Structure 1
C-alpha cells in the first residue's frame, strides 16, 4: 500500500505506476455503474476500479491496483 503523502498529478493517464512501476493503472469509475460482463472483465484485469458514488471536484482519476497509489488529473491553468 502506498504510504507517501505527496499528491501525484499527471496531465494524462500514465502507462505504469510512478511509484512501483506496475502496469496497467486502473481508471477510477465514479457513480452507480451498471454492472455487466465487460465491466467485470475490466475490473478483473485491473483496468477499472470503483471510486464510490460520492463525487467531488477533486477526486483521483487513476489508481495502481498493486500499491494503491492514487493519481490525480492535473488541471489545465
Structure 2
C-alpha cells in the first residue's frame, strides 16, 4: 500500500494519532491523555477529521490523505503484453501534460512512440480514474507461478518521494480492467 494515512499532509510528520468519536469510557480517556489517540467529541459529521498531527496540529480525513497520495504522482509508465503477441507501452507525463504510446508485435521490436498533448481536464479525469481503480492499493506483485508464458504487465508511478512499481504475470488486481480502459480513453489506442 502506498497511501500513508498517518503522515501529515501539512508538515510530513509521522507523529500522528487517530481521532476517536463518541462518548469515551474512563479507560479511553486515560488512553487519550497518554497520547494513544485524540478525542473528537460525541458528534461525527460528514467532514469530521480522522487524524491529528501532534507536531503542527493539522487535522485531515481519510479521503484527503487519499487525494494527497494521488497528487504526488507525476508520471505513470505502464507496459503490458507477451512474447508471442502484441505488447503496449505508455508513458503519461502529468507535469508536461503529454502521453506517449508505442506497440511491439513481438521479439522486442518497438514501433516509434506516438506522442500527443493532454489537457488539464483529461489529466484530472485520468487521476480520478486511477483512484477509482484503487491503483495505489494494488499489491506489489501478482504472480501466477503455474504459467510460464502469457501476459506480463508492469506499472511504475513516478512520484514526489519514492517511485512505486507493481507487476504481474497472468494475474491482475481487481482494478486492472478499469486501469486499461482509462489508458485507452486517454491515448485513443489499444492497451490490454
Q: Same fold (TM over 0.5)?
A: yes
1:26 aligns with 2:26: no
1:57 aligns with 2:46: yes
- Report if the CA contact (8 A) 1:25-1:47 is conserved: no
**Residue in 2 aligned with 1:71?**
60
Please list every run of at least 4 consecutive aligned residues from structure 1 whose deviation after the TM superposition is greater than 6 angstroms.
Answer: none
Structure 1 pair 24/72, CA: closer, same or farther in 2 (3 Å)?
A: same
- In terms of fraction of residues, the more helix-rich structure is 2
Q: Please state whether the residue corresponding to 1:43 is helix, strand or coil.
A: helix
CA RMSD of aligned residues (A): 2.6
- Report if the CA contact (8 A) 1:19-1:69 is conserved: yes
Distance across 2 between alignment mates of 1:44 and 1:21: 24
- Report if the CA contact (8 A) 2:20-2:37 is conserved: yes
- Report if the CA contact (8 A) 2:15-2:55 is conserved: no
Structure 2 gap segments, 5+ residues each = 67-130, 133-192
1:43 aligns with 2:35: no
- Report if the CA contact (8 A) 1:24-1:47 is conserved: no
Higher gyration radius (CA): 2
TM-score by length of 2: 0.28
Write the deviation string for residues 23-45 of structure 1: whole angstroms up to 9, x where unpaired: 23110011101121x752x4345
Structure with the bigger RCO (C-alpha within 8 Å, sep 6+) is 1
